[in-house]
Amino acid sequence: MIDQGTIGRILDSAEIVDVVSDFINLRKRGVNYLGLCPFHNEKTPSFTVSPAKGIYKCFGCGKGGNSVNFIMEHENLKYPEALKWLAKKYSIEVVEKEESQEDKQLKDDRESMMIVSSFAQKYFTRYLWDENEGRIVGLSYFRERGLRDDTIKKFELGFSPEGKSVFTDAAQKEGYRIEFLEKTGLTIKRDNWVRDRFAGRVMFPIHNLAGRVIAFGGRILKDDPKAAKYLNSPESEIYHKSNVLYGIFQAKRELTRADKCYLVEGYTDVLSMHQSGIENVVASSGTALTSDQVRLVKRFTQNITIIYDGDEAGIKASLRGIDLVLEEGMNVKVLLLPKGEDPDSFARSHSASEYKEYIKKNEKDFIRFKTKLLLESTENDPVAKARLISEVIRSVSVIPDTITRSVYIRECSKLLKVDEEVLYAEVRKNKRNKNEVLRKREALVKTNKNRATPQPVIPEIKKEGLVIEEKEVLRFLLKYCKYPLFELEKEELDEPEVVLVGDFIVDEIQGDEMVSESQVFTQIMNETKELLPNPDFNPLKYFVNHSSGEISKVASELLLEKFIESKRWKRAGAYTEKEEDILDLLVPKIVYEYKLRKVKQILHELEEKINTVYRGKDYDQVFELQSTYMNMKKVERFLSDKLGNRAFI
């Protein structure tokens, strides 16, 4: 099997537009991309790709899914083979092995760590707002930095109480095991000695792309020369800092809409820019930019502007990041702020329009930025100038697109006053050196693969067609699972009990033991029931990236499915597309539609069975079946009365 960590890296790297563009020509249309479907003949494009959601859907033939599903369908591959295909495309090493008990335990541990991290975020946030220490120390600090309350809440900022183990004691009291508190790095344990890692710090939760908290950054507020100003969670099974960008969850929608990403260094840079109205911004969290982080941005946009401080450290950080962005085929610009300013301070002293105007006027193409910067240090030194040329051309040589590379070479030739042929020769030399390194690496990977245990074939779920009612039940379940549906008044409770959409659908369908012929439908319902108690369960993310290719495909298709218009959506001549506003009407309707179909199916089967038994003259059984039939007819009438106007027309 392919281990879960590798699957995660593949899914994170396999940006849907990049994958699909290898096979068809896509054109941007709003926040999505449009092209001619590769799965059926069409003259008018109906094949839609959503980079924000990471899925595709053809509204002509109905096919849809994520990147893995596309490769499975287009290349006629099974799920494991499609993963390997994508791994090869993104140079991700796949080591195959048989799933052991330890692997299964690791999956459970990873989920436990997620749950502990979620508890920690809620604890730190509550402490910031509700406890005196949190308000006086933590909240005051954030407000002094100019952060509004809505920004503080948006990013779920918090405060970890001062003291040796206040948080750890509270977590253990709530039933969270010290093992997972230690694995997430929230607690430091040495023999019988235990203490909180982030005690006395304001807390910055770090979210993954799905919005789940996977780590924290903490800033100390008191003067302590022995303590680090900023402290981050250590690497763990759920947090690899080289794969994460701070603010990506909050920024992903705006990244796609604006088709541009601003890259900054720190937490407060992101917060202040968000607050000033610039939301398409992420931070590398003080670490050197990595290829995985760049690919994460590439999932949403091809355009990136690096904004760092105007000091020497900021300039060096900009230079380090340029080549990584170019290597991914992205368009990169660089902006250096005025001396003494950083993105945080600049955002606090300028409006969003002023900030954007400054960026527009001062951001520079990487060639001009790098050339101007390095020319200042060469003056009339020919040796230094030769080094400059080599440095600039090294950046140009990593650009994957030949045409783009040639345009930049021509630009360099003019700026540096060097013949184009000389620059082309330098590019070819750099590419030869790089290819040699890659060849050696591939040979090493091949050797390791030959030593690995062969992977067993993972059976795919049998494909059973979903009827229209089942599709709508699953669509509402996946899309609105955690939405409140209605309230139940209970005498023993001070407050009414809120029933969520997911609870209602699962209870109604599984409570009546109505077995679907679709294994996909059944498995999604079963897994949803099992995971519903988990507050961090995100059904869309979970099922779109499911290990079963068929389930992932169905979930992706449903996410882009055009909902079916109902007569009840038209009220007094008005029409609304906000179905979330009338879930209390739609969800029961859809569930009753599903039940009515199943009841009609049962009635039809009973009719056939009664005729068969009657011909066999087993009159006692005929009487029993007729009694069951009459009861089911009552259920049919009850559901028909409940439905009134049908949901599907």
Instruction: State residue 170's pLDDT score.
Output: 95
The Cα–Cα gap between 535 and 232 comes to: 24
Q: Is the pTM of this model over 0.75?
A: no
**Closest by Cα among 219, 274, 229 to 248:** 274
pLDDT in tens, 385-442: 777 778 778 888 888 878 888 888 888 888 778 888 888 888 888 777 766 665 665 5
Regarding beta strands 261-264 and 230-232, do their DSSP bridges make them parallel or antiparallel, or are they unpaired?
unpaired
DSSP per-residue string spanning 21-68: HTTS--EEETTEEEE--TTS--SS--EEEETTTTEEEETTT--EE-HH
**Closest by Cα among 287, 292, 239, 284 to 262:** 284
Q: Chunked in runs of 10, what are the mean pLDDT values of the chain (649 residues)? A: 75 84 84 86 85 85 86 82 85 68 68 91 96 94 93 95 94 92 92 90 91 92 82 90 90 85 91 91 81 83 82 62 82 84 86 85 82 66 74 80 83 81 81 67 54 40 62 87 75 64 84 74 86 82 81 80 44 51 82 85 81 71 73 78 55
Cβ 558 vs Cβ 540: under 8 Å: no
The torsion defined by the Cα of 269, 116, 499 and 586, in degrees rounded to 10, comes to: 50
The torsion defined by the Cα of 69, 74, 76 and 82, in degrees rounded to 10, comes to: -50
The Cα–Cα gap between 284 and 421 comes to: 38
pLDDT in tens, 558-568: 776 544 444 44
What are residue 392's phi and psi, to 5 degrees?
A: -65, -45
The Cα–Cα gap between 31 and 49 comes to: 9
What are residue 25's phi and psi, to 5 degrees?
A: -85, 120
Regarding beta strands 158-159 and 201-207, do their DSSP bridges make them parallel or antiparallel, or are they unpaired?
antiparallel
Cβ 313 vs Cβ 285: under 8 Å: no
Instruction: State residue 642's pLDDT score.
Output: 72
Return the number of other C-beta atoms located less than 10 Å from residue 347's C-beta. Answer: 27
Q: Which residues contact 209 (CB under 8 A, 6 or more apart)?
A: 12, 248, 249, 252, 296
The Cα–Cα gap between 446 and 94 comes to: 10
What are residue 611's phi and psi, to 5 degrees?
A: -60, -40
User: What domains can you pick out in the chain, each with its CATH number?
Assistant: 4-89 (3.90.580.10), 101-239 (3.90.980.10), 363-452 (1.20.50.20), 468-566+576-643 (no CATH)
pLDDT in tens, 178-188: 999 999 999 99
- Mean pLDDT, rounded, of the chain: 80
Q: Which residues contact 50 (CB under 8 A, 6 or more apart)?
A: 16, 31, 32, 56, 57, 560
Using a 10 angstrom Cβ sphere, with 0-12 exposed, 13-18 middle and 19 or more buried, the burial of residue 359 is: middle
Return the number of other C-beta atoms located less than 10 Å from residue 248's C-beta. Answer: 24
Half-sphere exposure of 384 (CA within 13 A, CB side): 10
The Cα–Cα gap between 590 and 586 comes to: 6
DSSP per-residue string spanning 120-136: HHHHHHHHHHHSHHIII
Instruction: State residue 573's pLDDT score.
Output: 42
Cβ 55 vs Cβ 76: under 8 Å: no
Instruction: State residue 193's pLDDT score.
Output: 86
The Cα–Cα gap between 558 and 543 comes to: 11
Instruction: State residue 95's pLDDT score.
Output: 67
- Give the length of the chain: 649
